[in-house]
Chains A and B, each alone.
Chain A
Amino acid sequence: MLELKGLAKRYATGDLALDNVDLIVPAGQVLALIGPSGAGKSTLIRCVNRLVEPTSGTIKLDGDDITKVRGNRLRQARRQIGMIFQNYALVERLSVMENVLSGRLAYVGFWRSYFRKFPQSDIAQAFKILERVGLETMIDKRGDALSGGQKQRVGIARALMQNPKLLLVDEPTASLDPKTSRQIMRLICELCAEQNLATIINIHDVALAQQFVHRVVGLRAGAIVYDGPPEGLTPEILTTIYGEEDWTTTHKDNDEEDKPDNKGVEAALLGGHP
């Protein structure tokens, strides 16, 4: 279970990215975090595993306060939190197996990991997870030889290798086609149910989120403006989160007209490659 209390982040530039966020995510719950680009979704999940240092507030994972931990204790906190990225963030020149095993780095010493002498139990687990995500035939392929959907499956496998209690997922489908997007979302949600993980998914595609998650949190200008079931996202609520727009037209139209645009903007803001 993840508990955020009064979490705030002000960047050195003076921008307030997160404003007093209170959030509790129980184990087994899949939560979609939606909001316009720049609302602080990325900052929020990066504060949880401390890739970004929060300015104030507390982060508790299963009751342990990890807001200020450093060194070994920070690494022990991080290994309980799996993270999946928009641009997969694989190490492209390493093989699929090496990428997946890198999820175990916090459990083995430097030299063992350097010479790729991971314990047999880790290797057995890697085979099991690779089979679960459907990549058992890709083990020796290099990261850059895979398609987008396959890369994201490797990213998911790497996160699961950590045996995490919490999964942070940053725009998992933003670089994928609609069909692969659905497959990846389904896979993430199934795995969370199987392993009883608390999960936060940043996502732009509201329709896709509604199809898969238990709970939706809307973020606007760093503050929570909606917290409820996916069915509760009425046109009024969407206007509160994203601003004025005709929300009554079908989702199909929205998908076709808005999606490429949103992708480009979000990727540019994150400094990523669309």
Chain B
Amino acid sequence: MPTTTENNQPIWMRRTPARQYAIWFMWFLGVMLFLLCFKVVSDNTIWEFLTDAHVQAASLIGRMVPPDWSITGSLMLPLWDTINIATVGTALGVFIAFPLAFLAARNTTPHPALRAFALSVIVSSRSINALIWAILLVTMIGPGLLAGMIAIALRSIGFVGKLLYEAIEEIQPTPVEAITSTGAGRMQVLAFSVLPQIMPAFAGITVYRWDINIRESTTLGLVGAGGIGLQMNAAINNLAWAQVATVFVLIFGTVIVSEWVSAKVRHAVI
């Protein structure tokens, strides 16, 4: 905010000229970096394949339409499994993430060492994709629904834990002070001043993660962790695109229903 004087008039500029030039130079470097990256990508792309991409896409969609509805009945059980994987996995993950969030939040943690522990659990859970967790778990406990549920739970711990401890750190401190000043115990302070303040965030985060988990659990079958992904994988391997399309439509319908449920829950808890 440099102010100079010109003709006895104070002049105000947002930045000094040197700083302004520095900012332009950074933009210039950014554009250069983008062009360089584009060249590297371009050199490694066989552009000839792209010329008939629209033909390929049209042909693929042509083989998918109309979907093969005859397999719908046999997909219902795997779909039910998928929803169960997402729901039980979310519940398990939230169950573990909830206390972890209180240990990880700066304003509720009992000890810095516990905070470090909770944060490291949250980070390691978040750094591994649910599909990778599923591969590890199928190796460890064998294929099936259980591996899928635990994979979803392990991934959810980090997501729910992180968002929840951030919500805890953002609460208003004055009600906490007020409840503390009544002589309430530590747990009572949490239950009466922190918990009511984070309930809307908690409900929102949980249904949001459940919503994501419905979609993630549809892919877990690809690695043998149960659910509709197994049927989708088989159909793709058989090049039965009409059957793949049926799976897509069912997943689409399920996701719409889960969106609707999430919106309802978020609305109810405010």
Q: How many A-B residue pairs have CB under 8 A?
A: 82
Q: When the two chains form the complex, which single residue of B183, B187, B200 contacts A77, counting CB atoms closer than 8 Å? A: B183
A51 lies within 8 A of chain B by Cβ: yes
Q: Produce 1/0 per residue, A168-208, CB < 8 A to B.
A: 10000000000000000000000000000000000000000
Q: How far is B188's CA from A200's CA once the two chains are assembled, in angstroms?
A: 27
Of the candidate stretches B85-93, B189-197, B210-218, the one touching chain A is: B189-197
Contact B192 A113 (CB under 8 A): yes
Q: How far is B184's CA from A90's CA once the two chains are assembled, in angstroms?
A: 15
Q: When the two chains form the complex, which single residue of A85, A102, A168 contacts B174, counting CB atoms closer than 8 Å? A: A85
Q: Produce 1/0 per residue, A102-114, CB < 8 A to B.
A: 1111100010011
A37 lies within 8 A of chain B by Cβ: no
Contact B174 A105 (CB under 8 A): no
Contact A272 B174 (CB under 8 A): yes
Contact B178 A158 (CB under 8 A): yes
Q: Produce 1/0 per residue, B13-44, CB < 8 A to A.
A: 00000000000000000000000000000000
Chain B interface, number of residues (Cβ within 8 angstroms):
20
B174 contacts across to A, CB distance below 8 A: 85, 87, 89, 272
B177 contacts across to A, CB distance below 8 A: 51, 85, 89
Contact B181 A105 (CB under 8 A): no
Question: Given that A89-B174, A89-B175, A110-B191 are known contacts, is A51 also in contact with B181, CB under 8 Å in the complex?
Answer: yes
Q: When the two chains form the complex, which single residue of A78, A91, A104, A114 contacts B181, counting CB atoms closer than 8 Å? A: A78
Q: Produce 1/0 per residue, A35-60, CB < 8 A to B.
A: 00000000000000101000000000
Q: How far is B115's CA from A175's CA once the two chains are assembled, in angstroms?
A: 37
Kindly name the residue among B184, B185, B188, B192 whose own CB sees the greatest number of chain A CB atoms within 10 A: B184
A75 lies within 8 A of chain B by Cβ: yes
Chain A interface, number of residues (Cβ within 8 angstroms):
34
Question: Given that A75-B185, A102-B184, A105-B184 are known contacts, is A89 also in contact with B178, CB under 8 Å in the complex?
Answer: yes
Question: Given that A51-B177, A83-B178, A158-B178 are known contacts, is A91 also in contact with B183, CB under 8 Å in the complex?
Answer: no
A98 contacts across to B, CB distance below 8 A: 192
Contact A94 B196 (CB under 8 A): yes
Q: How far is B180's CA from A158's CA once the two chains are assembled, in angstroms?
A: 12
Q: How far is B182's CA from A91's CA once the two chains are assembled, in angstroms?
A: 13
B178 contacts across to A, CB distance below 8 A: 83, 85, 89-91, 155, 158
Q: Produce 1/0 per residue, A121-159, CB < 8 A to B.
A: 000000000000000000000000000000000010010
A215 lies within 8 A of chain B by Cβ: no
Contact A93 B184 (CB under 8 A): no
The chain B residues found within 8 Å of chain A, CB to CB, are: 174-175, 177-185, 187-188, 191-193, 196-197, 199-200
Which 4 pairs from chain A and chain B are nearest by CB?
A106-B183, A79-B183, A105-B184, A78-B183
27 A/B residue pairs, CB under 8 Å, sorted by A: A75-B184, A77-B183, A78-B181, A78-B182, A81-B181, A85-B174, A87-B174, A89-B174, A89-B177, A90-B178, A91-B192, A91-B193, A92-B175, A94-B192, A94-B196, A102-B179, A103-B182, A105-B183, A105-B188, A105-B192, A110-B185, A113-B184, A113-B188, A114-B188, A114-B191, A158-B178, A272-B174
Other 7 A-B pairs with CB < 8 A, given A106-B184, A113-B191: A49-B181, A91-B175, A93-B199, A98-B192, A102-B192, A105-B188, A113-B192
